[in-house]
Structure 1
């Protein structure tokens, strides 16, 4: 199991301020462990005092790049990690990702992806890689960088760092009454379960129409992916959004 997660709630004693993350390691768990221990803190430090949306996005980027640089300076560095984070502050949600961990929000029961997977098959990612001297090819239907890695962004991956960048994409939005809950998950879920399926299954657990905890909703999603043949690590986090409005 190479996935890790992080959760910091009640920041500065305010329940409406929090940050969550899911980290999908590859080539070992070291990068995911490092990201889980450091990325959220580096992001929070970078965004402190920022209010403008573009300033916040740039600050989150610095948090990701700082974490990546620090990991690459560690001894015996190997492997890498995809990352997705969700930061809540003053009624806003800031979602960032590097790699193919994904954030999906339920808007009145309709799934809305708040992140876009970074894979070599994405036209803009492939162009970026090829423009900087790398190559992308496919083997048994899976697109890979230099015949190796199937994701194009993330923390670590020193041997492919020229092409596997740690720069995240970030989306900020204001939380309103229609925004019900957020799903953060590694690709072990999303490769077998669609965004809308995940929302449909998780919704009763998140809205309180069943007397069961959120953990059971997470487990139901994990079990569904596994039942469909997923052999990947699967991590799922469910975050009700009404507490952050």
Structure 2
């Protein structure tokens, strides 16, 4: 059984997010179909991201987008991100982050940017590249491309019976709600019921973030992993 899910959080307009949402799935799956071992699958996802980035530039588009994908294949969960959208797994009720946010405040990302001749500074409490962008990876961002790379980081997890559900969300949620809080809020909608109410659980997370003052875009997706064991 195979499935793929994605969250796209655009900046500088909606074009990059819309483009990636339309193209990235096919570009990943076209690469994955010929790969078998985990190392090859990780490289296939990387090539899918890079191809989507290259295709976006061919259309002379502006703006950029953070991307988060979850590919389920042969009992494995392949989670990839470029940007600050985040994937969190509920493992028997314990939150397990599967991605690490790509922000200029991350030491290794800041060093990579500086080694390429860019600079990172603190602007009104937010670390930014060239005084502009607050994420260090993503698709698009032509004017910052030498520093804002589209290469994702990928983690592969074998789906076991203790893997309950996956939360995929943009930073509009995670800036206000912790990983464990999110799992604790969602879990009652999954456990002890034959018909999990996914939409209700998503809405609870969005409402909590908004109640805490989030003005950012908030996208949330839940994936019930029991179907894929």
Tell me the TM-score range normalised by the shorter chain.
over 0.9
Distance, in Å, in 2 between the alignment partners of 1:101 and 1:78 is 20
Distance, in Å, in 1 between the alignment partners of 2:189 and 2:22 is 28
Q: Secondary structure at the match of 1:207?
A: coil
1:42 to 22, 27, 31: 27
CA distances 1:160-197 after superposition (whole Å, capped 9, x unpaired): 00000000000011100110000000000000000000
2:9 to 18, 24, 38: 24
* 2:176 corresponds to: 192
Q: How many pairs align?
A: 229
* 2:140 corresponds to: 156
Gaps of 5+ in 1: 1-15
Q: Is the 8 A contact 2:165 2:224 kept in 1?
A: yes
* 1:88 corresponds to: 72
Q: Which moved more, 1:181-190 or 1:46-55?
A: 46-55
Distance, in Å, in 1 between the alignment partners of 2:96 and 2:190 is 16
Q: Quick one: structure 1 residues 210 and 218, their matched pair in 2 at CA, closer, same or farther if it must change by over 3 Å?
A: farther
Distance, in Å, in 2 between the alignment partners of 1:226 and 1:210 is 29
- Name the TM-score, length of structure 2 as normaliser: 0.98
Question: Which 4+ residue blocks in structure 1 deviate beyond 6 angstroms?
Answer: none
Q: Is the 8 A contact 1:137 1:145 kept in 2?
A: yes
1:96 shift after superposition: 0.2
Q: Quick one: structure 1 residues 198 and 210, their matched pair in 2 at CA, closer, same or farther if it must change by over 3 Å?
A: farther
Q: How does 1:2-13 map to 2 (within 5 A)?
A: none
Q: Is the 8 A contact 1:107 1:178 kept in 2?
A: yes
Q: Secondary structure at the match of 1:83?
A: strand
* 1:145 corresponds to: 129
* 1:136 corresponds to: 120
1:102 to 86, 89, 94: 86
2:42 to 53, 57, 73: 57
1:210 shift after superposition: 8.8
2:100 to 103, 109, 116: 116
Distance, in Å, in 1 between the alignment partners of 2:72 and 2:53 is 23
Q: Is the 8 A contact 1:206 1:238 kept in 2?
A: no
CA distances 1:90-117 after superposition (whole Å, capped 9, x unpaired): 1011000000000000000000000000
Q: How does 1:161-240 map to 2 (within 5 A)?
A: 161-209=145-193, 213-240=197-224
Q: Secondary structure at the match of 2:122?
A: strand
Q: Is the 8 A contact 1:121 1:143 kept in 2?
A: yes
Gaps of 5+ in 2: none
* 1:3 corresponds to: none
Distance, in Å, in 2 between the alignment partners of 1:211 and 1:20 is 21
* 1:11 corresponds to: none
CA RMSD of aligned residues (A): 1.1
